[in-house]
């Protein structure tokens, strides 16, 4: 948050909205993924997510990860 505040210089009300939007997005993703898990199965959804998150890291063309 400090870097975001320094770049955008929001007011306190705007900063509160920025923080709240993250909560709204997580809640929306939770409901969406719960519904999708009910329809196609929790295990299959977990395997699809694992495959999607691992595929860019394992591709031969991807650059090595940067260290922070």
- Domain-embedded: residue 33: yes
- Please report the pLDDT score of residue 44 as a whole number: 93
- Please report the pLDDT score of residue 53 as a whole number: 79
- Please report the pLDDT score of residue 63 as a whole number: 64
DSSP letters spanning 1-67: -HHHHHHH---HHHHHHHHHHHHHHHHHHHHHHHHHHHHH-HHHHHHHHHHHHHHHHH-TTSPPPPP
- Please count the structural domains in the chain: 1
- Domain-embedded: residue 47: yes
Give the tens place of pLDDT for each residue, 10-65. 888 988 888 899 899 999 999 999 999 999 999 999 998 888 877 766 666 666 66
- Domain-embedded: residue 62: no
- Domain-embedded: residue 12: yes
Domain region containing 45:
2-53
Confidence (pTM): 0.54
Of residues 25 and 2, the one with the higher pLDDT is 25
């Amino acid at each position: 948050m400090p870097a975001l505040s320094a770049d955008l210089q929001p007011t306190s009300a705007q900063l509160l909205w920025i923080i709240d939007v993250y909560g709204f997005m997580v809640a929306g993703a939770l409901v969406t993924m719960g519904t999708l898990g009910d329809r196609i199965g929790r295990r299959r959804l977990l395997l699809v997510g694992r495959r999607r998150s691992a595929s860019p890291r394992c591709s031969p063309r991807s650059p090595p990860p940067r260290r922070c």
